[in-house]
Structure 1
Amino acid sequence: MRAPRIGLLSTGVLVSGCSGSQSALNPYGAPAIHVEHLIVGIVVLSGVIWLLVMVMLALALRRGRRAETEGQTFEGRLTMAVSAAVALTVAIIAGMTIASFYTTRSIGVPQSAAVTITVRAQQWWWQVIYAGSDGTPTFQTANEIHIPVGQDVRLQLESADVVHSFWVPSLAGKQDLVPGRSNDLLLRAEKPGIYRGQCAEFCGLQHSHMAVMVIAEAPSDYARWITSQRADAMMPADPDAASGQAAFLAKPCAACHTIRGTQATGTTGPDLTHIGSRQTIAAGLLETTRGSLAAWIADPQTLKPGNNMPMVPLTSIELQNISAYMDSLK
């Protein structure tokens, strides 16, 4: 397995385990490696075919000129060459089809996957739902998927609105998310790191701003993260954050978002219980800092036009306090 690379996203978030931008030729998981082998095989074969065609074309042109000067004909040879080319084309297409079939079979989702996570696509963000051992949802996050290294993870993919496509090239192939239907995808990371993904199906105005981060951690670190995420939000100790919590609950924010441990139980927008611990906000648009949180809250439509979050009238003090509260939700 190749050594992880490290890159920097446009948001400033450090991305390890990949080249900094998603690439199917930079795999760090078994499903992605199978896909890479298929891609490389098809590209190499196509290159060889192109070279053969160019050689045959050059020979045909050369012999054609000679035939014109010597009055020769090559109808019989031409028929044989065309017939051989047709037979070779059929064999190549059949071989590619078989290779694609076996690649698809090799990346199927096993029934014994260690972790099952539901990923529900929204316009334009990813709702990530973790369930307990009995299958009952225990907590939600947004735009980030934490997984244990070296273990098979089954993603149950759903869509709440239009057709989306989930793609983290360094870890797996693409899979569509279709309204009214559930599709599965196998995810497996062999190296710890942060792997960037993207919606790969045009889904509306902000399709290009619908990124997802897969954070692969050692099993012990993953277990600690699960424990921390299951906990309710802590009561803010900082006076500004405490005032921000009061303002958040008094404003329409609480009608759209959930913060476990408070009266905010909205389900329209992302769960914000631990938003301060996430790498980015707005599906990879901004790095999670107090300043970017304040900018987003103040005017989400300017930063990401067409998203479903309305601009809530706030005073400058309320904005400062609410952003302090969001930043404290680790």
Structure 2
Amino acid sequence: MSARRLALLPLLALSACEGGFQSPLAPAGEQAASIGSLFWLMMAVCGFMYLLVLTGLGVSVLRARRRRGEVRAPSINPGDRGLNRGLLFWAGLIVTGLTVLITGSFLVERGIAEARARDALEIRVTGHQWWWRIQVRDPATGGWIETANELHLPLGQTTRVSLGSADVIHSFWIPNIAQKLDLIPGRINQVDLTPTRAGWFRGQCAEFCGVQHAHMALDVKVDTPQEFATWLASQRRPAAAPADAVAARGLQVVARGQCAMCHAIRGTQATGRAGPDLTHFGARRSVAAGTLTMSRGAVQGWITQPQAVKPGTMMPPVALSPADADAASRYLMDLK
């Protein structure tokens, strides 16, 4: 598949979400609502101008047909003083339309910029090829809790998201909730998110960042304040102990093997930083940044043959026996 076709896939994927069409025109956040209102203002102004131009064109065609075959000597109106009324009309209309659009854009941009709340929840999002590292500042302790590829936001509360990149330029976009903003290596950009509707939404990298750009999705869950507090409390805890002998074997495979070189699992010997944190991996909706739906088979396939699932990914295949692969997937699925 060509790079150009891959770049278009995220746009097609935006329609796949729970509870409605994934679009800036179905806002579930204050920032997206402001952008949506600006869109409709532009549509109204530009649509009016378009219809006016078509009307003028139609009138001109009708007049030309009526005058066909007539030979007239050019006439000069003594009242003309070099100013064409039609030209003045169109110039005034264009200036008025541009003034409305510029004013509307300025007011929306200023409103979004001034929406920052002093008590905003702080989240860091770092783009990698091709996944998202997410760190949430715990209001209770001031420390940072790390997860990956799944962003939880509290309903009705402003969250300040600091965006950075570990490799190339990415772009952070949750169409229903807020505007698009780039993640640039060596620079931190900030975007505020104020969700107004609970539910699941889909985010996406909107800047072509390599062959798996289309498979760099972000699951976004807007929780009620009570649900968010419960989720945050669960994220504070270290990884759960194995529930049975198979999961215990999986812990040994993951924490003392190749996986621990790249992944961290709090409460175990796995402390790698190159890949996503797996402490509560089993509670997520998807595997490999939205590439696969979370299931034991998907996890096992991802561990043993990541290049078959997501060609070009930075994760190498892990050579495990069938029993060890089964145990590892069982343990990871139990990390709720």
Same amino acid, percent of matched pairs? 40
1:78-89 map, 5 Å: 79-89=84-94
| Contact 1:194–1:213 (CA under 8 A) maintained in structure 2 | yes
Structure 1 residue corresponding to 2:264, chosen from 255, 258, 270: 258
- CA distance in 2 between partners of 1:91 and 1:302 (Å): 57
- CA distance in 2 between partners of 1:78 and 1:198 (Å): 53
2:104 — aligned with what? 99
In structure 2, runs of 5+ residues without a counterpart are 1-11
Q: CA deviation at 1:93?
A: 2.0
1:142-161 map, 5 Å: 142-161=148-167
1:81-230 map, 5 Å: 81-108=86-113, 109-133=115-139, 137-230=143-236
1:129-157 CA-partner distances (Å, limit 9, x unpaired): 01134995421111111111111111111
Mark the CA change 1:263 to 1:74 in structure 2 (over 3 Å): closer, same or farther.
Answer: farther
Please provide the CA RMSD for this pair: 2.3
1:291 — aligned with what? 297
Q: TM-score, normalised by structure 2?
A: 0.88
Please say which of residues 82-91 and 132-141 is displaced more in the overlay. Answer: 132-141
2:69 is paired with a residue whose SS is: helix
1:65-85 CA-partner distances (Å, limit 9, x unpaired): 334433355997994323432
Q: TM-score, normalised by structure 1?
A: 0.90
Q: CA deviation at 1:268?
A: 0.5
In structure 1, runs of 5+ residues without a counterpart are 1-9
Count of equivalent residues: 317
Q: CA deviation at 1:91?
A: 2.5
* Paired amino acid for 1:84: F
1:36-59 CA-partner distances (Å, limit 9, x unpaired): 111111112222211111110011
1:201-255 CA-partner distances (Å, limit 9, x unpaired): 1111111111112211111111111111011101102211110111112321101
- CA distance in 2 between partners of 1:111 and 1:180 (Å): 25
Q: Given the alignment of the two structures, is residue 245 of structure 1 paired with residue 251 of structure 2, yes or no? A: yes
- CA distance in 1 between partners of 2:183 and 2:40 (Å): 27
1:40-55 map, 5 Å: 40-55=40-55
| Contact 2:200–2:221 (CA under 8 A) maintained in structure 1 | yes
Please say which of residues 251-260 and 98-107 is displaced more in the overlay. Answer: 98-107
| Contact 2:256–2:270 (CA under 8 A) maintained in structure 1 | no
Larger Rg: 2
Structure 1 residue corresponding to 2:324, chosen from 311, 315, 318: 318
| Contact 1:122–1:161 (CA under 8 A) maintained in structure 2 | yes
- CA distance in 1 between partners of 2:119 and 2:23 (Å): 25
| Contact 1:118–1:130 (CA under 8 A) maintained in structure 2 | yes
- CA distance in 1 between partners of 2:103 and 2:214 (Å): 33
